[in-house]
Every structure is written in structure tokens, then in C-alpha cells.
Amino acid sequence: MFKHLQKWFVAHFLGRPVQRARLVSKDGRCNIEFGNVEAQSRLIFFVDIWTTVLDLKWRYKMTIFITAFLGSWFFFGLLWYAVAYIHKDLPEFHPSANHTPCVEHINGLTSAFLFSLETQVTIGYGFRCVTEQCGTAIFLLIFQSILGVIINSFMCGAILAKISRPKKRAKTITFSKNAVISKRGGKLCLLIRVANLRKRLLIGSHIYGKLLKTTITPEGETIILDQININFVVDAGNENLFFISPLTIYHVIDHASPFFHMAAETLPQQDFELVVFLDGTVESTSATCQVRTSYIPEEVLWGYRFAPIVSKTKEGKYRVDFHNFSKTVEVETPHCAMCLYNEKDAQARMKRGYDNPNFILSEVSETDDTKM
């Protein structure tokens, strides 16, 4: 019993890997929070109220939407009730038979609310209407109509803009679960697969990466999120991608790459986060969008390549099998980038005749065979 509990404790606590902190989640959300922001800085969000409303979550946006309309209807309902009360149009004042009210058929707060609703949304049932007896009612009618158009335009525009944001288009761009390191074209490369789930293209697509890691400068300053540019390319470059089928983008691990001094054994012990960005313009709306994802050392597989995903059918169509989208196959790969380049240099020197172990210099003694 004790051994069983000991194994359970080791498996669930001691054997559990340490969860690494990541700035960007796999679905592109940024894991960052701001603390000790001054109150004056927070007021800037209300100055740019349009962007603030667009960035709100749907539950908060719908709460503001409902509150804005119900609040304005009830507020102006109180004003219409006050006009009727001041003009003594209510039944409790027992108006005479020849009394002309400011608003016909307002008998209380409920009817005043209904007239406010009819006025602002321009329903106009015709049962309640403003008369020409008091200018206050005419002015209030004009003011509520103008304010109602402003509230209508702002809230409906915010809902429409929220629905049509290119952020939703980015949901149909997916990256492979893992990144792999293997040889490609005789070079050691870091490869990532990306796919467009829609047949509509992203115009002017551009892909690039940032390596985030903690570095210490020569002056002793510690930079937590130091950014290093990572160039990703396909065979035709990294701009204006023909993004109709899944692409395998790669980063060449050369002497200028931050992965050059890493090896298969030391990679899991590294502390970095590789963030990959894909920018493009949505073809149907001409709006720009950005897709993000990230990879930590545990998600980078050394010595693997991606399984084939595109095939051709008998009907002459190209078929993409997303079952193999993130599937990897183990392949023979150099132990490290430095080993590959040292091997290439050695082979080049052997071809040039330098340091060739098969080349042996033998001395020949000259003899004079000529006799007089």
C-alpha cells in the first residue's frame, strides 16, 4: 500500500514537468497584464470610446447595448412624464373637457415610457402624439429623435464592426502543433506547417518570427523578453505567399541563427519562446489580419519532418488530408548545426586536396646512372 502511494505521489507531483510561462498562447492570445496603471491613463480608454467598445467581450458589449437603449427610453420617459405633470395633463389633475395636453393620452409613467419608446425608435403608432400647445414638448421631441439616431448609429455600428472584424478570419488559419528540425536542401532547418482552411486567399501574406528569451547584456542588465528576429521562408520567399494549400515554412539554421549553438540533447533545457506571425489582407473585405502562435522547447522536435499532406486524385483534383497536418516522421538528422557545417567543410577541404588522409608524400632518392 505504501509503495503504491509512493508511486502515485512521484507520478503526479515529482514527475510532472514544470509548466513554462508563455507570452503568446497557441491560439494567439497574449498572456500579459498591466499593473499600477495611473487613473489618468485609464481615462484615455474613454477618450477613444469606439476602440474600447470594439475590444470588449460580447457579454459586456451586449450589456452596454441593452443598457444604452433601455436607459435612454426610461430617461426620456421620465422627462415626458414631467412635461405632462407640469402641464397638468395627468388624470389626477382632472383636466377640463376643452383642455389640450402637450402629449395626447399620457396617463402615467407607463404611458410616458411607451411614448418615449415609440418616439426614439420611430414606431409612431399614432395613438399618442405631440400637440402644438407647448414648445417644451416639441423641443424634447426633436432632442430625443436626434439623440436616438446617434445611439442607434453607434451601437449598431459597433455590433456590425465586431462581427466583421478580421480577427474571426484569423481563426481559419492554423499552425502545426509542433515545429520540427531536420535537413532540407542540404541545410539544417526549423520547419513549421501552416494552412488556410478557406479557399479565399490572403492577399500579400507575409510571415516572420520572433524568438523571446531572457538575456543579460554586457553591462549586466537582464532583459526578460528580449526579441530576436527569425526569418521564415518558403521556396519562393516570405512575402506574397500563394496561400491556397498548406505551406511548410522553414528557418535556415546557419551561423547567424540563434539555434546554431543548440543540439538535440540541449534543446529541451533551453529557455525560449518562438512566436510566429502571419500578416495578410482578407480578399473579401480588404481588411488586414494577423495570426499568431508560439512554440516552447518541448514543442520543437529534433530529427523529424512533416508527413505528406497533399495528393492528387484520379479526377485530377488536389486533395489535402488534414489528418496528417501535424503528424511527424522521424528522419536521420545531424546532432547539431555545427556538426553539419563542420562535416561540409571537411568534405570541401578533401575535394580541394587539403588535409586528405589518403595523400602520402614519399621522398624519392635520385641516383646518377650516367657513366662516362
Distance from C-alpha of 28 to C-alpha of 100, rounded to nearest angstrom: 64
CA pseudo-torsion sign 39, 43, 45, 46: positive
Q: Determine the CATH number of domain 56-164.
A: 1.10.287.70
Write the CB contacts of 266 (distance below 8 Å, at least 6 apart in sequence). Answer: none
CA 289 vs CA 164, 237, 367: distances in Å? 12, 20, 85
Write the CB contacts of 77 (distance below 8 Å, at least 6 apart in sequence). Answer: 109, 112, 113, 114, 115, 116, 117
* DSSP-derived pairing of the beta strands 272-282 and 288-295: antiparallel
Helices (H), the chain: 2-9, 39-47, 49-55, 58-86, 109-120, 135-163, 337-352
Pinpoint the residues of the chain covered by CATH 2.60.40.1400: 169-351
Whether 234 contacts 206, CB under 8 Å: no
| β-pair partners for 295 | 274
Q: How many CB atoms lie within 10 A of CB 235?
A: 10
* DSSP-derived pairing of the beta strands 310-312 and 318-320: antiparallel
Q: What is the pLDDT of residue 313?
A: 83
Q: Determine the CATH number of domain 169-351.
A: 2.60.40.1400
215 grid coordinates:
538575456
Whether 190 contacts 253, CB under 8 Å: yes
> In the Cβ-directed half-sphere of 222, how many Cα atoms lie within 13 Å?
2
Q: What is the pLDDT of residue 296?
A: 92
Distance from C-alpha of 232 to C-alpha of 190, rounded to nearest angstrom: 9
| Amino acid symbol at 87 | H
Segment holding 300, helix H or strand E: strand 300-302
Q: What is the pLDDT of residue 74?
A: 96
81 grid coordinates:
412624464
Q: What is the pLDDT of residue 112?
A: 93
Whether 224 contacts 308, CB under 8 Å: no
Q: What is the pLDDT of residue 11?
A: 46
Task: Name residue, grid cell 546557419.
Answer: 254
Q: How many CB atoms lie within 10 A of CB 336?
A: 22
How open is the CA angle 150-153-157, to the nearest 5 degrees?
145
Q: What is the pLDDT of residue 345?
A: 57
Question: What is the full per-residue pLDDT of the chain (372 aa) written as tens digits?
Answer: 444 455 444 444 444 445 667 888 888 888 887 777 776 666 777 788 888 888 888 899 999 999 999 999 999 999 999 999 999 989 888 888 888 888 888 989 999 999 999 999 888 777 888 988 888 999 999 999 999 999 999 999 998 888 877 677 777 888 999 999 998 888 899 999 998 888 777 888 888 999 998 888 888 888 888 899 999 888 655 566 777 788 888 999 988 899 988 888 888 888 899 999 988 888 777 788 888 999 999 999 999 999 988 888 888 888 888 888 889 999 988 888 777 766 655 555 555 555 555 555 555 555 555 444
Pinpoint the residues of the chain covered by CATH 1.10.287.70: 56-164
